Amino acid sequence: MKIKPFIVFLLLVSVVAAQERFPQLGKTDWGWWRGPLHNGVAPANATPPVKWDDSTNVKWKAEIPGRGHSSPIVVGDRIYLTTADETKLTQHVLCYSRSKGELIWNTLMHQGEFDHNNKKNSFASGSVSCDGEKLYVSFFRDRKVITSALELEGQKIWEHTFEGFVSHQGFGCSPLLYQNKAIIAIDNKGTGGGALIALDRQTGEEIWRTSRPKLPNYVSPVIYKINGKDQIFMAGCNLIASYDPMTGEVNWQKQGTTEEVVGNVATDGEFIFSSGGYPKRETWCWKADGTGELVWKNTVRTYVPSMLVLKNHLFTVTDDSIGYMWDKKTGEEIWKQRLSGGFSASPIMANGHIYVCSETGTTWVFKPGANGVELVSKNPLGTGHMATPAFSGKQIFLRTIDESGAARKEWLVCVE
């Protein structure tokens, strides 16, 4: 398999060039959850290492105060991420220097009552999004979801509060930036039900609000351009749905998926893929043309990680440590392998390799091919990974956990 055409295809999968649809950042920036095109594919200029450990290919390591599962984002010489101090009941946005790993600023966002949460979740699971001028982030606490904008030096500009949030597993949605909007999904089982909300990025005022079912769900919204039309896709709440990002109106929705979904919707422009974990274990493939026609489904559960669309295949790792590759058109199983460590982080494709981090601190690197994937390396770092890494140029930024000592610590690590 030739790498170059494969990478080019992946960069074209499911979306066209960003143009003015999304904020224009630098060529090596990783400005929001799952990368520039929201699909877990790094830009063609990303050339990260495929081997490292605690003492090899680590440029720097910086301690993160508190606990969180949000992914780092990279814009220019800054790295941004969220964290929470579960003893002091505080939530923060942090900024680090990309070149040295120094903490530049730490902004206290909220303090007060926390809410119920799943033990595998955190009170800082939503990632920061950046448009090059401001930062956008959502936290949940005390039956509220609070979305905020900050200046690049950490000063808060505005806040938007959604009241009555109720969910037994917590919250983890990252803001989606589109044109002048910051779009957030607040699926929950509170009295008022869920909502998909577009906020004005300058003022925080609501541009539109669309009701969602009164059910718990954890998906971040994503936008793909299909058949010449930008569409927001959401799975979960027993639905697969497409929304108009300008108005919030439903383009189409069909019964499908499970009630609770965490991983993002994936697409190649022809098919839409989703997987859920409660109450059923299912992975689904529909036609992306709006008909809602089901092409195939199986009984595999990828609950937390998002899936990765390849040229001819769909790749995933399940929470309980099984890797799969299916023919994306038929659902035929091409490859299956028992891995280890459990997975919550989502796989990322960079420079022809798939990177996926385990909950026990190992990043598995695979080389995909026509008949499956080949293991390239297993890279231990700390004792745990819950967050999906960010890729920029020759560097990987990993949020790691170290529970080997007397006290639990978290680290931001630059691998180069």
Instruction: Please give the full DSSP string across 1-32, using - where no structure is assigned.
Output: --HHHHHHHHHHTT----TTTS----TT-B-S
Give dist(CA 327, CA 298) in Å, integer: 12
Task: Tell me which residue of 199, 226, 389 sits closest to 305, measured CA to CA.
Answer: 389
Per-residue pLDDT of the chain (416 residues; tens, 9 = 90+): 444 444 444 444 434 444 468 898 999 999 999 999 999 999 999 999 999 999 899 999 999 999 999 999 999 999 999 999 999 999 999 999 999 999 999 999 999 999 989 989 999 999 999 999 999 999 999 999 999 999 999 999 999 999 999 998 999 999 999 999 999 999 999 999 999 999 999 999 999 999 999 999 999 999 999 989 999 999 999 999 999 999 999 999 998 889 999 999 999 999 999 999 888 899 999 999 988 899 999 999 899 999 999 999 999 999 999 999 999 999 999 999 999 999 999 999 999 999 999 999 999 999 999 999 999 999 999 999 999 999 999 999 999 999 998 999 999 999 99
Provide the pLDDT for residue 256.
Answer: 83
By CB neighbour count within 10 A (0-12 exposed, 13-18 middle, 19+ buried), where does 64 fall? Answer: buried
CB 298 within 8 A of CB 280: no
Tell me which DSSP letter residue 388 carries: P
Beta bridge partners of 323: 317, 337
Give dist(CA 366, CA 98) in Å, integer: 27
**CATH fourth-level superfamily of 3-415:** YVTN repeat-like/Quinoprotein amine dehydrogenase (2.130.10.10)
CB 276 within 8 A of CB 258: yes
Q: What is the number of residues in the chain?
A: 416
102 Cβ neighbours under 8 A, 6+ residues apart: 62, 96
Does the predicted model carry a pTM greater than 0.85? yes
The sheet carrying 194-200 orders its strands as 176-178, 181-185, 194-200, 206-212
Could you tell me the residue ranges of all domains in the chain? 3-415
Provide the pLDDT for residue 383.
Answer: 96
Task: Tell me which residue of 49, 91, 102, 47 sits closest to 67, measured CA to CA.
Answer: 91
* CA-based torsion, 224, 263, 280, 316: positive or negative: positive
* CA-based torsion, 361, 362, 368, 371: positive or negative: negative
Structure-block tokens of residue 323 = 């890797």
